[in-house]
Amino acid sequence: MTVCVTSEHAGPKSSFPQFLPLHLKCENGLQIHQQQTSQEQHKMRCSIRLMYLFLYNLLQFCGHTWIFANMTARFLSFGGDALDDTFYSVGVVMSSCQLLSALELFHIADGLEKGPLLPRFVQVTERIFLLFVVIIGEEEIQTKPIVCALFYLWNVLGLLRYPHQLMCLFSTPSLNMLWVHHTLWIPVYPLSVLAEGVTVFQALPYFRSQNAGLTQPPSASIHLPYLLQGYLPLLAAGACVAEWQLMRDRRQQLDTWNKKLKRK
């Protein structure tokens, strides 16, 4: 039998101090501590990612700026003679920038950067293949004027991309900057693909002559001219897909920005 005792001086029930059992206090304190710790870890991860992306884009921007300034200064100083040794003057820095650009595939796949993965994958792979297999693999092609034109176009694309990426890390780009970034890609990227195709076409006779003089058993290098011939239609197809994706991304970005302006 349970007896309930009431008192006239007890007052309202809410006036009594609410005491929690010790084990409930420990659990609540542990949950609060875990939430604070997770928030601090999340802020730390965000700051580390922000610093990493800032340093990466800044390094790429400085590299492409140096290449562009070096090529421009040499051309203004020596005229057409500067076209022959373009690769020897900026080839190391260009190779480093193109190798670093492979990290952007992991940035997009991991969610560090927002953007379509397919066109970026096409751009990165075709540049690395052309630079390290065709240009570095054949010394005769390194002195061709098409290499200078190709490097110029690659640098223009880099100077359009990396300042925009740096701006997006800290603030929202203006409508003019968005328009310039997403519009100038449309004519410059097909020109760079055209220059890549011309480079491969000019390199084919040199690779064929090398294979014609081989007396060793067949190897993978003998099939390189056939690989390059098959690479040309793949280059055109990949460029069409990438250009379509870039134009679609441009339309979405500008439409989103225009809707934000109308709401304001």
Residue pointed to by tokens 């009594």: 16
Segment 228-231 long-range contacts (CB within 8 Å, at least 24 positions apart): 228/134, 228/200, 228/203, 228/204, 229/204, 231/129, 231/200
The yes-or-no answer on residue 189 being catalytic is yes
The yes-or-no answer on residue 152 being catalytic is no
Cα 132 from Cα 99, distance rounded (Å): 10
Which entry of 162, 196, 226, 231 is annotated as an active-site residue? 196
126: how many CB neighbours lie within 10 A of its CB? Answer: 19
Q: What tokens were used for 221?
A: 């290098």
Q: What tokens were used for 194?
A: 């055209």
Which entry of 56, 152, 162, 189 is annotated as an active-site residue? 189
Active site residues: 189, 196
